[in-house]
Chain A
Amino acid sequence: MDRNLAIKVNDNDNVATIFAQNTSDGSQIEVVDKKGQSEMLKVIGNIPYGHKIALSDIAPGAQILKYGESIGAASKAIKKGEYVHVHNLDSMRGRGDL
C-alpha cells in the first residue's frame, strides 16, 4: 500500500483516478493502466482519494475521457497533472434539461 497509485481504465482516457491518500501539490503519482504498465506523473494541486488527475493538457471545451467515453467537457484549460472535477469539468447531459 506504499505506492501512490492512479488507475487508467481505458487506453484512450485522458484522466486517471487516484487511489492514494493525501496526494499533494508537487508529489509524484504512479499511473497504472489495465495491463499493469505504469508511468510517473507530477501532481499539480491537492487531489483527494477517488478523484481524478489529468494525463495530458486538455483545452477548454475538449472532451474529458474516462472508460474511453466522454464524461463531460473541460470548462477551462487543464494542465497535465492537474486535479479534474466539477470546478473544471461540465457535464454534457442529464441535468433534467435533456
Chain B
Amino acid sequence: MKFMGYIRPDGQVGARNVVAIMPSVICANDVAQAIAMQVQGTAGFFHHQGCCQLPPDLDRVTNTLCSLGQSPNVGAVLVVSLGCEGTDHARLVETVAKTGKPVEIIHIQELGGTSKAIAAGIDAAQKLSMAISGLQREPADISKVVMSIKCGASDATSGMASNCVIGYVADKIVDLGGTVVFGETTEFIGAEHILAKRAINPTVGDKILEIVRNMEDRAKAIGCDMRKGQPTPGNIEGGLSSIEEKSLGAIVKSGTRPIQGVLDYADVVTDQKGLWIKDTPGREPEILTGMACTGAQFMMFSTGRGAPQGFPSMPVIKICGNPITYQNMINDMDLNAGLILTGEKSIDQVGEEAFALLLEVLSGKMTKNETIKYFSSIDIHVLGPVI
C-alpha cells in the first residue's frame, strides 16, 4: 500500500515539506515570527524554552529541536539564535546538516539586533524555501509511516467511539509494517499492569511501570497523589466504575499489538517498527512537539468535547466521538465517530474511513486544523525548574 510523500536524503518520507523556522530559545521568538510571517512555505516552532534552565533540561531542549529538524515533514531548517542562550545551537545545525537537508543559522546579537536579524532571516528563509519548493511527491510504502496518537478534551464518548476507531487504525498500521507511537503516561495509571503485559519482554514491561512511577513521584514531590480519588465522582456519575475502566478507555486507542519499547521524550524513530510508547505528558503543546520530533508524519487525535489544536509541521486528524460536537465544531473536526453511538456505523467501518482519510492526508490533503492555521501554540516538555 502506497502514499505520495517527499523522499528525504536519509530515506525517510515526509507528508509535508516545510522550512522550519526554529528559535533556539524563547528570546528569539519575535524575530522568528516576523520571518515566518513573511516567507511562504515556512512553519514556525515558537516554544518557550532554551535558557535559565538546569543542564538536563537544556540538553532535552536541544535534543528535541535536533529531532524536530530531522523529522521527515521538515525539508529545511533556519535556526534563529539570540547568541547567549543555553541550548547548543551549533549541535542543532550539525545534526540537521547530517540528514542532508539545507540548514542555516542567524544570530540576533551578532547581526546587530532585531530589525537586521529579521532582514537577514527573511533572506535566508526565502533561499531555503526556494531550494525545497520544487520537490515532487513520489510513491512511498505505508511501512515508512510513523503514526502518533493522542486524545484530548475527552468525554464519555471518547472511550467508546473515537479511541476505538484509532485503536483499529493503529493495529492496521502495525500490521502493514509501519510504526505507531502513543504517549500520555499519566493516563496509564490503573492500567499500567495491562500495558506491561503487552510488552514484548519483561525489560520493556518494567520500563513501562517505571515511567508511570516516575511521573507519579514528580506529582508527589509537590504534594499530589494522582491515584487518589480515581475515578472521580463525575466519572462515576458518567458510568465509569473503576480506574481500570477509565484508563483502558484511554489506552484502547493504542490498539492491541505488542509494545516494542519505550522512547524518551526527545527520541526519534529511525527503523523501529510496530507499536511504541513515548514518555510524554498529556497536555497538547508538549505532547504534539514530542510526537512530531519522533518523526511522526501525522497524528490521529481523539476528542469528544472538541479540541482544535494542531502542530506547525505535522497534520493532526481529529476523530470526534461525540456526534453533537462533530456537527457543532465541524470546521475543526475531520471525522465523525459519533455515528457508532447512533448505530449508523460500526467501529470497524469508521476505522476504515479513518484509514482512507489518513492516506489522503499523508499524500497532501489538508486537515481542518491546517486549513484554519490552528497550530501555533507549541512547547517543549521540561522536567526541572526555571532558574
Contact = CB atoms under 8 A, between A and B. Distances in A.
B138 interface: no
Given A1-B342, A91-B241, A93-B190, A67 B347 contact: no
A36 B227 CA distance: 36
A89 interface: yes
A81 to B, nearest CB: 17
Contacts of A92: 242, 244
B94 interface: no
A3 B252 CA distance: 26
Contact of A36 (B164, B230, B238, B348): B348
Contact of A94 (B236, B239, B244): B244
Nearest to A87: B241
Nearest to B165: A34
B249 interface: yes
Interface residues of B, number: 35
B174 interface: no
Contacts of A33: 346
A9 B227 contact: no
A43 interface: no
Contacts of B241: 52, 71-72, 84-86, 89, 91
Nearest to A34: B347
A30 B238 CA distance: 20
Contacts of A93: 190, 193, 242-244
Interface string B229-247: 0100000101101111100
Given A5-B343, A36-B345, A93-B193, 14 more contacts: A1-B342, A9-B160, A35-B347, A49-B239, A52-B239, A66-B245, A69-B244, A85-B239, A89-B242, A91-B244, A94-B227, A94-B242, A94-B243, A94-B244
The 4 closest A-B pairs by CB, nearest first: A36-B346, A91-B242, A50-B239, A34-B347
